[in-house]
Structure 1
Amino acid sequence: MSNPTLSTMPWWRQLDRYQWFVFVVASLAWLFDCLDQQLFLIARNDAITSLMPPGTGQTDIKLYGGYATSIFVIGWATGGLIFGSLGDQIGRARTLTISVLMYSVCTGLSALSTGWIDFAMFRFLTGLGVGGVFGLAVALVADTVPPSARTAALGTLQALSAVGNVTAAIIGIVIGKMVVAGNISPENSWKVIFLVGSIPALLCVFIQMRLKEPEKWVAARQAGKATGVRFGSYASMLSDPRWRKHSLFGMMLCVAGVIGLWGIGFFSPELVGDVIGNSLRQAGTSESEIAGARSYWISVNMIVQNLGSFSGMLFFTWLTQKIGRRPAFVIGYLAAMLTTIAYFQTFNGVNDIWKSGLMGFCQLGLFALFAIYLPELFPTRLRSTGTSFCYNVGRFLAASGPVTLGYLQWFLVPKDAVADQRIDALRDAASYMSVIFLLGILAVAFLPETKDQPLPEDV
């Protein structure tokens, strides 16, 4: 029986010891998941440069970087579908452990790549594991913590992902300094990044073995066996008009945010690296020093971007509690579009690094809303399935974002382009693509307001 006095307490005081354990473990799983994603962004350009044939041009390297990102995102989407359904069928805790083990091992294996093909294969397998974590983690927390603490707990879980992103940036800075000092060759720096990144998630697996399945899910699963109701079934979800509507428009909602982040926002390292690298090259700096400086400033940019993201996710968690889920989404998508265009059009050097924090505040602030809102759209038997469907199926469409950005740059760059022209092409391509955020505003118009409502069930 729920305690009516809980709702008057701060959310973190409403959790008992085991609920805290669940929250911490779920948050760590997602934190290390995001660390893996960010390490890929830091290492992507150097990895592709190292693995492509000698003499490959920068435009082709960016294009293949887009391919690698799209393959990773496709793996993410596929893993989200598989593990999301398994989470409702066999349990959130067990499936979460499998997902984390997969992405940690395959992150390390990425460092052993000898060519672009096997690198892309390892990124796909890493994506399978990465894709399962979000839906499982938020369903686990949503089904475990008291209802009055759910919104803040889920928003905080998402905000803590920025800690993983910042940790990845710090790793990038340290390795960049080691490259400058000559302790690591520029050709091998990306391999070290992947090897280091695989360790914390692997250690997390041993902690997760103590997780138990939520009592709510256990009770619903037992009742479902008696009544024959289907758990984790996409056919069952999409055949019911209510859950089908939530699934399809929830997917559209996430497509806008995911393309905006992975197809545009997470290409800020390329802009930062190109702008700073170009300025250093014009000043006569050696290529080895440029490589170290690029790595350093890309990592600093990532730290600033994710400090903004952390603040943004906490802000939007607060905002959605005050004004509701739907108005918060509308404000968030408009802000994300405007700040993304402004960033890519006006970033001109290290003095503009702060602008990435503003973009991160708005772009990743939206993802706190996903963590809060998506579990509120589906019943217990479909909570992991539906959340993963919305968050990950859209990634099949979102996977076109990096490739589209690459082709737009290729289309906008003259054959005899100089560095400044390639930078301008990236600016314009990112700005054109930013209209995708308007799709999120359209989708939310067809979805219900769930503020202060209990989690839905079939009856």
Structure 2
Amino acid sequence: MPESQRLTSVQWLVCIIAAIGFAFDIYELLMLPLVARSALMELGGISPGTPEFARWFGLLFYVPALCGGIFGLLGGYLTDRFGRRRVLTWSILLYAVSACLSGFSTSLWMLLFFRTTTFVGVCVEFVAAVAWLAELFDNPVQREKVLGYTQAFSSFGGLLVAFVNGVIAKHAMSLPAIQIPGFLQSFVGTIAPIGEHADWRYTMMSGLIPAIPLIIIRPFLPESPKWAAKKAAGTLQRPSIAELFSPKLKRTTIVTTLMFACSYGVAFGALQQLPQILPGLDTVQAKMTAASEGKPKPQAAAAAGRTRQVITANYTKSQELGGLFGRFALAVLVVHIVSRRNLLRFFLIPGLIVLPMVFYGYFLGHEKVYWTGDMSWLPGFHNVSLSLLGIGIFLAGFFTVGVFSFWGNYLPHVFPVHLRGTGESFAANIGGRMLGTPFAFVTQFIATFSFVPGASPAAKIAVVSAGVAFVLILCNLLLSCLLPEPGVDAINNDGEPT
């Protein structure tokens, strides 16, 4: 085993840019659940709980996921063909610029287009970053730690988007008005006065942030040494999707793809439904009513909406803080638990119990607040409250998001170098993005049926989320029995077939 050495300045640069990429991957993905409700109401005049709302909610999740899966798979091929650095750089620029432009949307179709190009960039970036990091370190323990801790920044991205959205919701009216330049208005239309200070638009536009450090650091980024060495020696085999289904890799490809789909299904079919569930809580309804009292109807609706958005951002912070702890727990445990199956079950077994219970609590709609205090010394955390449901969503985030870091550590070890990007891309994009993300629509669709218990759309979504989480985590737990152990029945730790 090669000795662990201190990170060089070049290695630090790679880790920094990968961490930024991971953080803003999640920043971009979790942005939509926070703002979808407001965007659909403004651009389409669609009310929550209606079939039309469920249809467009599903389109905004499924079409980008479908295109992201297709182009992400192509990105995995390009990563193996042309190198990790080049593909990662352009993918980050693509999703950053697309996210900013989506804030200028004048129609639902325009928003759908830019969400799709954003998703394409995110899908490609994840694969390139994981392959790049895995090939940068020869020492297995150091490699596992780097993969684990850099992926933990994904949850910083989730916390950041919740924080940014909460701040914007409070100060949107004092920010510069968003308008379409005059020479473009004949092509894309104009933004209605009600949307010129819409918090969802500012939140979308904030996705441009990761492009700034990338432009500065890019000239100093090296290529993957292992990929470059094989390329220079002429021994780099051409990547092939068909090879993923060869006798050596077929089981690995199928099982990881299905399990990735279940992991994403839990996140989008349950955890990311929280913004649609929260308006059903008695405490949230009381705060929205208090914010709108004594105001004319349009101003009352806007005040209630801003209050709901701030509360949603606060709950999302709790959820993402749990995810952050889950990722760090994975980074610590990955070097101590030898069996990858047992490591995964550390998150799956408690999650099978916790998530259905938490969402059933949201279904009941009664929140018990134990403590409320001012933590203004911590940015974004003033007027903090402690409640049973808040603790529950923290734990739900811990056990759900920790699984995502598992896949980032696991996948580089079960595909050889020339297939690493393609194999990771197939599992993450075909499984996670194309099959898993659409569970956001599945939950919304099932919740529209009359047989689903619940007195309100929010209660119906909560109880369906509990069922979706239970079924998908159980499927993952059963599939873990078939998951290949690296170096035992898959490939060795250097990523080459045994």
- Give, in whole Å, the separation in 2 of the partners of 1:47 and 1:274: 20
Map residues 231-250 of structure 1 onto 2, 5 A cutoff.
Answer: 231-238=238-245, 240-250=246-256
Structure 2 residue 293 is the aligned partner of structure 1 residue 279: no
Contact 1:179–1:186 (CA under 8 A) maintained in structure 2? no
Counterpart residue number, 2:355: 340
2:313 to 299, 318, 324: 299
Counterpart residue number, 1:142: 134
Counterpart residue number, 2:157: 164
Map residues 38-187 of structure 1 onto 2, 5 A cutoff.
Answer: 38-52=30-44, 54=45, 56=47, 58-59=49-50, 60-147=52-139, 148-179=141-172, 187=195
Report deviation, 1:220: 2.0
1:433 to 457, 468, 473: 468
Deviations 1:396-426 (A, max 9, x none): 2224311211111111478xx9x94222211
Counterpart residue number, 1:189: 199
Deviations 1:109-137 (A, max 9, x none): 11121111121111111111010111111
Gaps of 5+ in 1: 7-12
Structure 2 counterpart of 1:374, one-letter code: L
- Give, in whole Å, the separation in 1 of the partners of 2:6 and 2:68: 34
- Give, in whole Å, the separation in 1 of the partners of 2:93 and 2:442: 32
Report deviation, 1:202: 4.7
Q: Which moved more, 1:310-319 or 1:176-185?
A: 176-185
Contact 1:325–1:451 (CA under 8 A) maintained in structure 2? no
SS in 2 for 1:411: coil
The TM-score with structure 1 as length reference comes to 0.89
Distance 1:298 1:344, change over 3 A: same
Distance 1:55 1:432, change over 3 A: closer
Distance 1:202 1:74, change over 3 A: farther
- Give, in whole Å, the separation in 1 of the partners of 2:486 and 2:308: 45
Structure 1 counterpart of 2:227, one-letter code: W
Deviations 1:307-353 (A, max 9, x none): 11111111123223222211121231222232221221113446332
Distance 1:41 1:55, change over 3 A: closer
Report deviation, 1:16: 2.1
- Give, in whole Å, the separation in 1 of the partners of 2:401 and 2:437: 18
Q: Which moved more, 1:383-392 or 1:56-65?
A: 56-65
Distance 1:189 1:458, change over 3 A: same
CA RMSD of aligned residues (A): 2.5
Seq. identity, %? 24
Contact 1:139–1:383 (CA under 8 A) maintained in structure 2? yes
- Give, in whole Å, the separation in 2 of the partners of 1:39 and 1:404: 19
- Give, in whole Å, the separation in 1 of the partners of 2:438 and 2:312: 24
Which structure has the highest helix share of the two?
1
Report deviation, 1:305: 0.9
Report deviation, 1:282: 5.4
SS in 2 for 1:15: coil
Structure 2 counterpart of 1:168, one-letter code: V
Q: Which moved more, 1:23-32 or 1:347-356?
A: 347-356
- Give, in whole Å, the separation in 1 of the partners of 2:275 and 2:47: 20
Report deviation, 1:366: 0.5
- Give, in whole Å, the separation in 2 of the partners of 1:246 and 1:179: 48
- Give, in whole Å, the separation in 1 of the partners of 2:219 and 2:324: 28
Deviations 1:244-288 (A, max 9, x none): 221111111211101111222111122124435533455564322
Distance 1:281 1:413, change over 3 A: farther
Gaps of 5+ in 2: 178-192, 294-299, 368-384
- Give, in whole Å, the separation in 2 of the partners of 1:393 and 1:296: 34
Contact 2:95–2:121 (CA under 8 A) maintained in structure 1? yes
Structure 2 residue 427 is the aligned partner of structure 1 residue 390: yes
1:327 to 330, 342, 345: 342
The TM-score with structure 2 as length reference comes to 0.83
Contact 2:40–2:46 (CA under 8 A) maintained in structure 1? no
- Give, in whole Å, the separation in 1 of the partners of 2:151 and 2:288: 39
Q: Which moved more, 1:347-356 or 1:301-310?
A: 347-356
Structure 2 residue 367 is the aligned partner of structure 1 residue 375: no
Report deviation, 1:458: 3.8
Distance 1:291 1:282, change over 3 A: closer
Counterpart residue number, 2:480: 444
Aligned pairs, number: 443
Q: Which moved more, 1:419-428 or 1:162-171?
A: 419-428
- Give, in whole Å, the separation in 2 of the partners of 1:207 and 1:182: 30
Contact 2:73–2:430 (CA under 8 A) maintained in structure 1? yes
Structure 2 counterpart of 1:260, one-letter code: V
